[in-house]
């Protein structure tokens, strides 16, 4: 089970009060959100929502779990943002003074072609 994805579905459904709107807000289909929440409920051994044909209302257990699920989703989002920032961070290289400017320019261009930024 994708714990972060399941928690993301759980949080979104709880915020929007239903699986259709919550799933759309989370960028997933209603069936995916439903399966993810069901997997989370199975893992916890407790129901998170009382379901009707139009609404999903948090159970007492769901209300108790919501804050922790929200924290997990936020932490995962921060981690992904940090990973993106680090991927685009330039590599710092010290080069000897004897290296020609043209050789360094070729090195920078070659690195850029591979998605790497160099700071010489």
Is the domain of 76 the same as that of 104? no
Residues 44 and 103 both lie in one domain: no
pLDDT at 117 over 90: no
Residue 2 has a pLDDT of: 95
CB 34 within 8 Å of CB 19 = yes
Q: Are residues 72 and 111 in the same domain?
A: no
Residues spanned by the domain of 15? 3-86
Question: Are residues 74 and 26 both part of a single domain?
Answer: yes
pLDDT digits (tens, 9 = 90+) for 63-86: 999 999 999 999 999 999 999 888
Question: Is there a single domain that holds both residue 16 and residue 65?
Answer: yes
Q: Identify the CA nearest to 80 among candidates 4, 2, 1.
A: 4
Query: In angstroms, rounded to a whole number, what is the distance separating the alpha carbons of residues 51 and 60?
Result: 13
Do residues 19 and 58 both lie within one domain? yes
Q: Identify whether residues 80 and 101 lie together within a single domain.
A: no
**What's the pLDDT band for 88 if we cut at 50, 70, 90?**
confident
Q: Give tens-digit pLDDT for 9-22.
A: 999 999 999 999 99
Q: Do 108 and 115 touch, CB atoms closer than 8 A? A: no
pTM: 0.75
> Per the structure, how many domains does the chain have?
2
Same domain, 51 and 81: yes
Coil/strand/helix, residue 118: strand
């Amino acid at each position: 089970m994708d714990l972060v994805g399941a928690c993301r579905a759980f949080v979104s459904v709880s915020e929007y009060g239903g699986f259709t709107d919550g799933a759309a807000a989370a960028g997933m289909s209603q069936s995916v959100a439903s399966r993810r929440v069901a997997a989370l409920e199975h893992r916890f051994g407790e129901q998170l929502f009382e379901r009707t044909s139009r609404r999903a209302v948090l159970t007492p257990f769901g209300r108790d779990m919501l804050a922790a699920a929200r924290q997990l989703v936020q932490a995962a989002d921060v981690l992904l943002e940090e990973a993106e920032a680090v991927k685009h961070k330039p590599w710092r290289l010290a080069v000897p003074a004897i290296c020609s400017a043209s050789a360094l320019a070729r090195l920078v261009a070659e690195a850029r072609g591979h998605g790497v930024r160099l700071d010489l």
